[in-house]
C-alpha cells in the first residue's frame, strides 16, 4: 500500500509539472501531504515531515535569495555586457561556436563541484548571447546541465562523495575509477553542443536574427542610468572573482559569502540608499520565487523519508526483478538511474536506494563497487533537470523558462547520454558485467 501510494504520488507530481497546470510550489508541497494523509498519518506528523524536509533546504534557499540578487545587480552594472560583446566577437556568426563555448565554460565552471556556482557563472554570461543570436534558451539549459552532470563525478562532488561513503572507501579512489567515464562524458558533451548548435540553426538562430526586447522608454532610461563606467567594471570583476574563490575554497557559508559580496557591490557602485532599495526590489521577486519552490521540494523529500514511502518503493522494485536478471541488476539500475534521479533526491538515492540495490546485487554475485559505479553515472545526468535539485530552479529562473519546457527538451538527450556512458563504461571495463 505504501509503495503504491508513493508511485502514484510521483506519477501525479511529474504529470502536473509537465502539464504546467499548477505552480511547482503547490504540486511539490500539496501532493506529498495528501499522500501522507491517505497513508493514515496525522496532521502533526505531516507537519513535522515537511518541517524536517524544509530544514535540509534552508541554506540553499537563503543562498539563492542573495546570489540571484547579487548577479542581478552585477548585470545592472554592465559587467556582463563586456563579457557578452567579447564572446560574440570571438564566435562571430557561428552558432555552433557559441554552443561549444557554452559547454567549455560550464565544464570549467564546475571544477569546484558546486552546482549553484556553475549555474550563476554560465547562465548569466551566456543568456544575453543566446538572446542576441536567437538561440533557444532551452539549449543553454540543456548544455549547461549535461556538463554539470559529467563534471559532478569529481571526488568533491556530492554524488561521488555519497557513493564513497556508502562503499566505505575514499572518494578519490572511487573517482580514479570513474575518470575514463568522465573523459568520455566530456567528449559526448562537446558532440552534444555541436548537435544543439545545428538544431538551433534549423530553428532560425543566427547573427541579426535575435529579437531585441525593448523595455519601456522610462525603464530603458532607468537601466542606462544604473550602468557604471569602465573604472567600476574592473572592481566588479575583481569582487566577483573573490566571491567565487570564497565559494570554491569553502571559506564560509555560501549564502554569507554572497550576502557580504552583495553589500560591497551595492555600497561601492550605488552608495545612494534609494537606488540600493530600488535594485533589491527589482530582483527580489525572482529570488523569492526560486527559493519558495526549493522549500516546497524540501517538503516533498521530508514526506518521502518520514512516511517510509521511499523504502517501500525500493523493496517493491526489487520484488519485480526476475531472478534470471539478478546478475545484471547493476546494469538495470544504471539504465534506470536518470528516471529515478528525476523523482528521488540525491541523499535518498545514495543513502536509500543504492544500499538496497547493492545488497540485492551481492546475493547474485555483483560486487557493490560495480553497482555503485553503474548507478552513479545516470543519476548525475539528472542533476539539472530534476524538480528536487535546487540548481534546476535557479537555472530556469535565470532564463525565464518553464520547468515543464526544460524537462521536455532536456530529458531525452540526457537519457541518451547516460545510457551511452553506461554502455561505453561496459566496453572499456569500468562497469563489469
pLDDT value at position 382?
84
Do 372 and 354 contact (CB within 8 A), yes or no? Answer: yes
Neighbours of 253 (CB within 10 A): 13
* Number of domains observed in the structure of the chain: 1
Quick check: is 238 in a domain? yes
Contacts of 28 (CB under 8 A, 6+ apart): 13, 293, 296, 297, 299, 300, 387
pLDDT value at position 217?
47
pLDDT value at position 41?
92
pLDDT value at position 216?
43
pLDDT value at position 213?
42
pLDDT value at position 215?
44
* Rounded Cα–Cα distance for residues 41 and 306 (Å): 10
Neighbours of 341 (CB within 10 A): 27
Cell 568522465 belongs to which residue? 182
Cell 536478471 belongs to which residue? 325
pLDDT value at position 112?
61
229: closest CA among 69, 79, 75?
A: 79
Quick check: is 173 in a domain? no
* Rounded Cα–Cα distance for residues 377 and 330 (Å): 11
Q: Write out the residue range of the structural domain in which residue 229 sits.
A: 58-156+178-291
Contacts of 43 (CB under 8 A, 6+ apart): none
pLDDT value at position 353?
76
Quick check: is 265 in a domain? yes
Q: Which helix (H) or strand (E) holds 10?
A: helix 2-19
Q: Indicate the pTM of the whole model.
A: 0.69
Torsion (CA) 387, 391, 394, 396 in degrees, nearest 10? -60
Largest CA distance in the chain: 72
The tens digit of pLDDT for each residue in 54-100 reads 887 787 788 778 888 887 888 788 776 676 667 667 766 788 999 99
Q: Which helix (H) or strand (E) holds 83?
A: helix 79-91
User: Phi and psi (nearest 5°) for 163?
Assistant: -60, -40
Quick check: is 8 in a domain? no
The tens digit of pLDDT for each residue in 232-281 reads 888 988 998 898 788 767 787 878 988 999 999 999 999 888 889 988 98
- Contacts of 268-273 with C-beta under 8 Å, sequence gap 24+, read 268/232, 268/235, 268/239, 269/73, 269/77, 269/228, 269/232, 269/236, 270/226
Tell me the pLDDT of the chain (433 aa) as tens digits: 888 898 888 788 877 876 767 888 888 889 999 999 999 999 999 999 999 888 877 877 887 788 888 878 887 887 766 766 676 677 667 889 999 989 988 888 787 666 777 887 788 878 888 888 889 999 999 999 999 989 888 877 677 877 887 787 877 788 889 889 999 999 999 999 999 999 999 988 776 655 454 444 444 455 555 666 566 888 988 998 898 788 767 787 878 988 999 999 999 999 888 889 988 988 888 788 778 877 887 888 788 888 888 778 767 766 777 777 778 888 988 998 888 888 776 777 777 678 778 877 887 888 889 999 999 887 888 888 887 777 888 888 888 888 889 999 999 999 999 999 999 999 998 888 7
Angle, alpha carbons 207-211-213 (nearest 5°): 135
Cα 187 to Cα 103, 294, 298, 299, 374: the distances in Å are 10, 32, 34, 37, 19
Quick check: is 113 in a domain? yes
Contacts of 364 (CB under 8 A, 6+ apart): 326, 327, 329
pLDDT value at position 207?
62
Quick check: is 147 in a domain? yes
Quick check: is 275 in a domain? yes
Cell 528536487 belongs to which residue? 388
Quick check: is 325 in a domain? no
pLDDT value at position 361?
83
Amino acid at each position: 500500500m505504501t509503495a503504491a501510494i508513493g508511485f502514484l504520488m510521483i506519477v501525479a507530481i511529474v504529470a502536473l509539472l509537465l502539464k504546467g497546470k499548477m505552480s511547482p510550489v503547490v504540486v511539490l508541497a500539496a501532493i506529498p501531504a495528501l499522500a501522507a494523509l491517505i497513508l493514515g498519518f496525522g496532521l502533526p506528523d505531516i507537519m513535522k515531515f515537511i518541517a524536517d524536509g524544509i530544514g535540509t533546504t534552508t541554506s540553499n534557499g537563503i543562498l539563492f535569495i542573495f546570489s540571484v540578487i547579487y548577479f542581478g545587480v552585477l548585470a545592472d552594472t554592465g559587467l556582463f555586457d563586456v563579457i557578452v560583446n567579447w564572446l560574440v566577437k570571438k564566435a562571430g556568426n557561428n552558432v555552433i561556436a557559441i554552443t561549444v563555448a557554452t559547454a567549455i565554460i560550464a565544464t570549467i565552471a564546475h571544477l569546484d563541484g558546486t552546482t549553484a556556482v556553475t549555474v550563476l557563472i554560465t547562465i548569466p554570461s551566456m543568456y544575453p548571447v543566446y538572446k542576441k543570436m536567437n538561440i533557444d534558451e532551452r539549449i543553454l539549459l540543456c548544455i549547461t546541465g549535461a556538463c554539470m552532470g559529467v563534471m559532478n563525478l569529481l571526488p568533491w562532488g556530492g554524488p561521488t562523495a555519497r557513493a564513497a561513503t556508502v562503499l566505505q572507501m575514499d572518494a578519490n579512489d572511487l573517482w580514479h575509477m570513474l575518470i575514463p567515464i568522465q573523459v568520455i562524458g566530456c567528449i559526448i558533451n562537446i558532440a552534444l553542443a555541436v548537435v544543439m548548435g545545428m538544431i538551433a540553426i534549423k530553428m532560425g538562430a543566427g547573427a541579426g536574427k535575435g529579437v531585441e526586447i525593448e523595455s519601456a522608454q522610462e525603464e530603458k532610461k532607468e537601466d542606462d542610468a544604473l550602468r557604471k563606467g569602465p573604472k567600476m567594471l574592473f572592481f566588479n570583476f575583481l569582487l566577483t572573482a573573490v566571491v567565487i574563490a570564497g565559494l570554491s575554497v569553502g571559506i564560509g557559508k555560501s549564502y554569507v559569502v554572497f550576502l557580504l559580496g552583495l553589500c560591497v557591490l551595492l555600497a561601492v557602485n550605488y552608495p545612494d540608499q534609494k537606488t540600493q532599495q530600488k535594485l533589491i526590489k527589482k530582483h527580489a521577486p525572482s529570488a523569492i520565487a526560486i527559493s519558495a519552490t526549493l522549500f516546497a521540494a524540501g517538503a516533498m523529500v521530508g514526506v518521502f523519508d518520514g512516511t517510509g514511502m521511499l523504502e517501500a518503493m525500493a523493496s517493491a522494485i526489487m520484488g519485480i526483478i526476475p531472478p534470471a536478471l539478478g546478475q545484471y541488476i547493476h546494469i538495470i539500475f544504471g539504465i534506470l538511474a536518470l528516471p529515478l534521479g528525476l523523482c528521488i533526491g540525491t541523499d535518498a538515492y545514495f543513502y536509500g536506494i543504492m544500499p538496497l540495490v547493492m545488497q540485492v546485487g551481492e546475493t547474485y554475485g555483483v560486487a557493490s563497487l560495480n553497482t555503485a559505479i553503474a548507478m552513479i553515472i545516470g543519476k548525475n545526468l539528472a542533476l539539472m533537470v530534476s524538480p528536487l535539485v535546487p540548481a534546476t530552479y535557479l537555472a530556469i529562473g535565470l532564463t525565464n523558462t518553464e520547468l515543464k519546457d526544460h524537462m521536455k527538451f532536456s530529458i531525452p538527450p540526457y537519457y541518451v547520454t547516460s545510457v551511452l556512458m553506461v554502455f561505453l563504461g561496459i566496453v572499456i571495463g569500468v562497469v563489469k558485467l
